Amino acid sequence: MEPVQPSVGWGVLHLFYRVDRARAEGDPQAAKRVVDAVQSLVDDDHQALLFAVLGHKADLGVMALGPDLARLQAFQQELATTPLALVDSYVSLTELSEYTSSEDDERARLEAEEHLAGPAAEARLAAWRERMGHYQEQRIHPRLPTKKTICFYPMSKRRRADANWYSLPFAERKRLMGGHARVGRTYAGRVLQLITGSTGIDDWEWGVTLLADDPVALKEIVYEMRFDPVSAEYADFGRFFTGLLLEPPEALRRVGL
């Protein structure tokens, strides 16, 4: 199939399955076929994370991402031939935030807060550019580490008459998002956050994927951020899916496949 590659970023699929127990009993090679499909996707320079879902919403979760939407769709169809019944899904693209600080923003901050200008400021800006380049690459082309737990949920910004995010001036939205981001940065090292965009391609506007070794960190970051005005006044959330991230054979064994 002809590749379908976004001009910016990668495609991201979150797929949630129940195991069809009757079909699984008659298909002893089903787990191997899933593992083979995952390995084939990885061999094609994509990524796939499998997790045993906690709670009643699904048995197995799969997060697949990479540069080719056609390849992701083919992977989804491969899984459809196994005793996995799809019960929910989400489609999004990796992206950069429009509210990311620019070099001019950082230069102004250095002058206002640290009273730096001239060569001293330029030296700091050089380090800032390197740091931002790494950050932007990780947002657009993320390489996701294996943590112990994962949480996914979709969200949108509100459009109510008394709280319409999109009626705010850009400068005010950027200021609010700056405070929101500062809260998130306090969890560096504890929680890996990947925000992917879905406006126009799924029911919500963003998908949020959180990875952590400690499930308490997942709870704490979402709880703390809900006190931030961006969430408290302007955010609506969809269903949350939480699971145990595992190597594919172990994830499938855990869910009975």
**Which pLDDT belongs to residue 109?**
84
**Which pLDDT belongs to residue 209?**
98
Q: Please, what's the b/e burial string for 120-147 (b: 16 or more CB within 10 A of its CB; e: otherwise)?
A: ebeebbeebeeebeeeeeebeebebeeb
Which residues, listed in sequence order, are joined to residue 98 by a DSSP beta bridge? none
* Domains of the chain as residue ranges with CATH: 11-95 (3.30.70.1030)
Q: What is the mean pLDDT of residues 73-79?
A: 98
Whether the predicted pLDDT of 181 surpasses 90:
no
Q: What is the mean pLDDT of residues 95-106?
A: 88
Q: Is 153 a catalytic residue?
A: yes
Distance CA 13, CA 80 (A): 14
Token pair listed for 91 = 């489609």
CB 99 within 8 A of CB 177: yes
How large a percentage of the chain has pLDDT more than 90? 80
Q: What is the mean pLDDT of residues 3-22?
A: 97
**Which pLDDT belongs to residue 18?**
98
Q: What is the mean pLDDT of residues 194-200?
A: 97
Q: What is the mean pLDDT of residues 97-119?
A: 87
3-state secondary structure of 114: helix
Q: Which residues contact 27 (CB under 8 A, 6 or more apart)?
A: 82, 83
Count of residues making up the chain:
257
> Active-site residue among 17, 90, 99, 153?
153
**Which pLDDT belongs to residue 26?**
93
Q: What is the mean pLDDT of residues 205-226?
A: 97
Q: For residue range 116-157, list pLDDT tens digits in order.
A: 888 888 898 999 899 888 889 999 999 998 899 999 999 999
**Which pLDDT belongs to residue 163?**
92
Spacing of C-alpha 250 from chain mean position = 23
Classify residue 74 as left (phi > 0), alpha (psi -120 to 50) or beta.
Answer: alpha
Whether the predicted pLDDT of 179 surpasses 90:
no
Whether the predicted pLDDT of 190 surpasses 90:
yes
**Which pLDDT belongs to residue 80?**
97
Whether the predicted pLDDT of 21 surpasses 90:
yes
Distance CA 97, CA 241 (A): 24
Q: For residue range 22-65, list pLDDT tens digits in order.
A: 999 999 999 999 999 999 999 999 999 999 999 999 999 999 99
Distance CA 113, CA 53 (A): 46
In which band, very low, low, confident or very high, does the pLDDT at 242 lie, cut at 50, 70 and 90? very high
In which band, very low, low, confident or very high, does the pLDDT at 95 lie, cut at 50, 70 and 90? very high
Backbone angles phi, psi at 150, to 5 degrees: -140, 145
**Which pLDDT belongs to residue 32?**
97
